[in-house]
Structures are given as C-alpha cells and as structure tokens.
Structure 1
Amino acid sequence: MKRTAKVVSLALGLCCSFLLVSCSQAASTNSSFTESPLPGGGIQIPHNERIHLSTDQQWISSEGHLSDLIRLQWTGDRAKPAISWANEKGEDKTAIISHEKANNAEQHDHKHLSIETTMSPTGKNAGELFTRFEVPYDVDTAEIRTHSSNFNVMDGILRVAGEPDTNRDLQFSKSEQGNVTTPRWGIRADSASEGGGNAGSNLQIVRYSDSGEVMDSPLYISRSNGNVGVGASDPQTKLDVDDNSVRIRQSFTPASSTSPGVQGEVAWDEKYVYVCVAPNTWKRTELSSW
C-alpha cells in the first residue's frame, strides 16, 4: 500500500512539474497551449518548445517499471496507441504502433509492435501507412517480420550466430495465410561440435518437404578441409559424390594432343574419353560398345 501511494505521488509530482515548467516556458515566450490543427485535434505544445524527460530509476518490474517516462496504454478492445510523424502538410508519413488486435475483427490477433511508413504516392494504396517491420509479443521466440521491404546491409555484416553445438540457419520459405511460413531450402552452419583443428560448424544446403520437414542435405562442405560432398555428409575428397554416376552434359573434342588444357580436365565425344594429364597435354582412350 505504501509503495502504491509512493508511485502515485511520484507520478502526480512529475505531471505537475511538467505542467508548471511548460506553462512557465509558454508564459516566457508569450505563447500558450492550443488545439492541434492535425486530424483528430489534441493539445499542441507551443511551437519549438521541447520536452526534456530524465530518470534515475531502473527498469524493474516489481517496482512498476518506474523508468518508463512515456507510457502509452490502450483501453479499448481494438485501440492502437501510436507515435506518428507528419510532414509540413500534416500528413502522417511514419509511425510506431503497438496493439493487440487487428482493425478487422475477422483477422487473427496481431499482438505486435510495428514500424510503419507510407506506400508509394502513385501506387494502389497511395499515402497509406503500411507495416514494414513488426515484432510480436506474448511469445518466447519472436518471429520478427518485414513486409514489402528489401533488407540491405551497407558496409557491414549480416550475421547468424548461435550457441556451440546448435544449427544456425538462413531459410527460404513459402508464406501462407496468417503469416504462416513453411521452409523449402536452408543454408546451415550445422551443430557438428568444434573440437579444434577447424573442425565442426560445417556448411549444408538443406532440403525440406512440402510439409516443412527436413529431407536431406544435397550439398555439404567440411569446414576443416573444404571437401565438398554431393549427397555425402563426410566427404573424403575435394568432390565426393554419393551416387552411381556423374554427368558431363556437353561433348568436347580437343583438336590435338597439344590443344590448350589444364591438368585434370576430362572431356568426351562419340569415340573417345579425353584426359588432360599436364598443361596442354591430352591423352585419350577409345570407346566401344558391348
């Protein structure tokens, strides 16, 4: 009870102090509070006057989060407290909004904070504020989303980090109604333990089924030696294919045994298989039917 009285007293004191200071400033500048000319009206602080808020409190739940110097609260079922920015014509251009439910009662609950900006002035929804970035609440893991946006990292790093022995994934997914997403492909630094010698945290391309379940990793790269596995999760050579054939689609016939070539190149035509055994040095073996 004493704590509640202290909080109420402090809140009233802050409000009174703010009003006294604002009124004093208004008097000193020969100005006063007026009705806002923006849509919806409201109280307008004298032009070019600033609000300075400060605190020595901590963000502690048991004490009522006393350091939240601005608190916006919704008191209606579909109310949406917001902070918005308007241009010189009074038109809203950007906003930060937090709310529980959508305007349309038929839509699922939003339960998120959103950063919104206007759509193109020449587009279908000209001037309409649209969610570009949203962070949900009441969840242990927030599914942060962007909408109709491109994400650019300029002169920096886009990083996916994680604890040891965990997968770190970048997924490409299919979106469905209600913001449901189902993975199709993933780029993964896997959970293989890092035991020294550059081992562990190997790179995989992960393939998912229609239901979003992992099917396999068709491409695997070992971090310790750079070996690449196609369908193989433990590649033993620079290219290790876990299948019974490898296809070279295009035929090629070296003009002569000294045609330009790099050691290790392989080619074929209807009569021969060619192997470049040294720079510009080819050998061939004849093909026959059986």
Structure 2
Amino acid sequence: MLHDIDLKYVGGALATGKSLNLTSSFADGENTSDSTRRINLYSYQRAQHLAADGTTYAHFGEVLRLYSRKHNSKQMIAWYGPTSYDGNGDPASADTAWFWMGAHYDPNDPGPAHGHWSVEAPDSNGDLQTRFEIRIWDPTTGVFGMDRSIAKFNAADIVVAQDNGALYMAGTAGTNKNLYFTNDTTVVSAVSSTGKRWGIQTDGTTESGANVGSDFRVNRYSDSGAFVESSLFIRRSNGQVGIGGLVNPAAKLDVTAAGSYHTVQATQTTTSSVAFAAYAGIVGLSTNRLFDGRVSGDSSGRLAIFGDGKHEWGDGGAGGRDTNLYRSAANVLKTDDKLITAIGLGVGNSATATTAVGTLVRKMEVFDASGASLGFVPIYSSIT
C-alpha cells in the first residue's frame, strides 16, 4: 500500500537546516562495492493527459514535484562542491554552488518577471547567472503558457565539435529556415522584429525535383526591422548567384546596382610590380568572349573582347558587330574596317626624302574626321 509522507525534518550529524541527508562512505575504496546512497523513483503513468472528467489535465507521470509558494522563490536542483582539490583528490576548499537548474517567476532583484526554466552557472565572482532559459510566461503579455516558446542563451558561447557533430536549422520542405542577427535582447518569436538587421535564410521555395527549391539568401533589414532585400541569393538547382537584390540570376554571378557608385570595383593595393591583375579572366578558347558590354535592351554586345585580345564593336542590334581591331601578326595591329583619327595619325618609320625617282605604283585614300574623302596620297616605287 502506498502512503503520502509529510517529511518535516530528519536529523543527523551531517544535517544542516531542514534537510534530508543520504550519506555515503569511501571507506571501502573505489569500485569495490556500491557504497553510494541514492533515491530511485519509478513511474508507470503519462503526463499531460486528460483526467477522468474529460476537461482537466492530470500530470501523473512526474516522479519529482517542486512547488512555488512565493513570487520570487526559486525551485532549483543544485550541484555543490569545492572549487579545488588537494593532491589526494579530496576537497581543498569549502563547498559552493556549481550549477543550478530549475524554474522561477520573479528575479532576485525587482524587475520584469523572468517566468522561465533556467540553467545557472557561477560567474568569476561566484554569483550564479542564467546561461540558458526557456520561457514559460510570455514576456510581452505576461500570460502563462506559450504556443511557441523562446529558448535563449545568455553570456554563453555555443560550440559544436565538428569531429562528431553539427548544427542544424531544421524544418520541413517549403518552410523558411532563418537565423537572425538582431539588436533585440528579448526576442519574442514572430513579434519582436524591430531590431532585425541581417538574416541568413534557406527560403520556402517549393522543392519540385531536380534540386529546385530551398534557395539560400542573406537578407538585410531597415532600422525598423523591415525587410529591404536579399543582398546575396544562391539558387540551389544550379548554383547561380545574385547580388544586390537579384533573386532570379541570369548568370553564374549576376550583380546589379542603382546609385552613384560602381556595380563592381576591383582595387589592387600592391604598389610594387606584380604579375597579378586587379581583374583576371580566363576562357577555354581564344574565340570565346572575355567581355560582352551592352546597353539595356540590346540584342547583341556593343563591345566584345575575345580570348585572343580581339576587340569588336557594334550598335547593339540584331546584326551584331561590324568593326574590329586585332593582332594579325607579330608587331602588327589590324582592322578589317575603316580607321579614322580625329586629330591626326602618327607613324614612327618616316625618313627624309627629296626626289621621287620611281614610278607611281600605288595610291592611298585619306579621309577627314567625319569620314569624307580628302583625296589620295601617291605611292612611288622609289624615292631619294
């Protein structure tokens, strides 16, 4: 038969205050016999289950109940021990609190209600501080019970050993998985958003096969915590990257910008002569384009630079480019089209001459800056 026991006080040589002490001994040494005293509790019932009346919940599955009877009382399970040990492994200092775990409503000092389950560890002064908490009362409304609780670390670093672990942001396909950087020290899920500044997200784009969906974003937010843009976007299906708010990148790297600054700027800070460029492009064939420049709406590039250094120009229309400049041989730069210089054309192989002694063998037409013919320059077989 089971009986309720009201334990007021159990005395003993080691008892301090109104405590129940189960003492153990190390007299037999280590691992020679089970000399540790313990409390064993057994359960056969579930918790959070409807009672027989069908309207109230009965919590029968617990094996230990801690009741609060003051607004600022703490119902904690505590670990105590010394702060150091001697050469024999015995305590070399007085026992103090190592670790607390439990729940309470109000804090020690006057202030907003905590209303949480918490894990507390000592700081450098030996004072217990909350390191991890799970909210029980809604911190905004003060209402008991939350459909979505808040788990929070305080003054703590979170480390996941990567030799045998990982950190997961888990959720079903089609839902956003978010990691926010915020100025809000007390965050209420889906409510407190004014402090949001940056967010890392796998978005809720539908997964439809062939690696489509669940794309990656780095989002930025305004001073009021409102979404501004996805500053970085990576499509999972093909790895294409959009920067500057582009969420439909048309290239492996697609960058857009609107404002009085460069879309892309490469600054090389090396002041000595080096074999590296501020921008380097490598193509698979000499006939592949290294650069293609267009005006919005063009159907072809107005300027194209190829892997062999050839430059082509056009008007951006469907006809493509019609003017070029390229290296045709060693020390020879050539164009297949007309070249006009507005202020003159200089040559480096001219020489003094007085008399044309040969016959007229060639003529070279010369044009003005607008492209109109000025006439012909005669070419003789010999000049002295």
TM-score, normalization: structure 1? 0.72
**Local SS of the residue matching 2:78:** strand
Aligned partner of 1:153 in structure 2 is 160
Measured in 2, the distance between the counterparts of 1:130 and 1:156 equals: 27
Q: How do 1:1-290 residues align onto structure 2 when only pairs under 5 Å count? A: 10=2, 12=4, 15=5, 33-34=11-12, 42-47=19-24, 48-63=36-51, 64-88=58-82, 89-105=94-110, 107-120=111-124, 126-137=125-136, 138-154=145-161, 155-176=164-185, 182-230=195-243, 231-243=245-257, 246-250=263-267, 263-264=282-283, 277=307
Count of residue correspondences? 242
Per-residue CA distance 1:99-148 (angstroms, 9 max, x = gap)? 1112223x11111011011112xxxxx11111111011121112211111
Measured in 2, the distance between the counterparts of 1:37 and 1:178 equals: 44
Check the 8 A contact 2:241/2:253 in 1, yes or no. yes
Post-superposition shift, 1:283? 6.1
Q: Which is further off, 138-147 or 59-68?
A: 59-68
Per-residue CA distance 1:70-126 (angstroms, 9 max, x = gap)? 000101121111110000422111010201112223x11111011011112xxxxx1
**Local SS of the residue matching 1:55:** coil
- Counterpart of 1:69, as a letter, is V
Measured in 2, the distance between the counterparts of 1:35 and 1:193 equals: 68
Measured in 2, the distance between the counterparts of 1:72 and 1:162 equals: 34
- The CA RMSD measured in Å over matched residues stands at 3.4
Say which structure is richer in helix. Answer: 1
- Gap runs ≥5 in structure 1: 1-8, 20-31, 121-125, 267-272
Measured in 2, the distance between the counterparts of 1:276 and 1:135 equals: 61
Check the 8 A contact 2:256/2:263 in 1, yes or no. no
Check the 8 A contact 2:119/2:132 in 1, yes or no. yes
Higher alpha-carbon Rg:
2
Check the 8 A contact 1:108/1:178 in 2, yes or no. no
- Counterpart of 1:87, as a letter, is G
Residues 36 and 274 of structure 1: CA distance in aligned 2, closer, same or farther (over 3 Å): farther
Measured in 1, the distance between the counterparts of 2:178 and 2:48 equals: 34
Measured in 2, the distance between the counterparts of 1:140 and 1:178 equals: 15
Post-superposition shift, 1:156? 1.0
Check the 8 A contact 1:262/1:276 in 2, yes or no. no
- Gap runs ≥5 in structure 2: 25-35, 52-57, 83-93, 137-144, 284-289, 292-302, 312-324, 327-340, 342-384
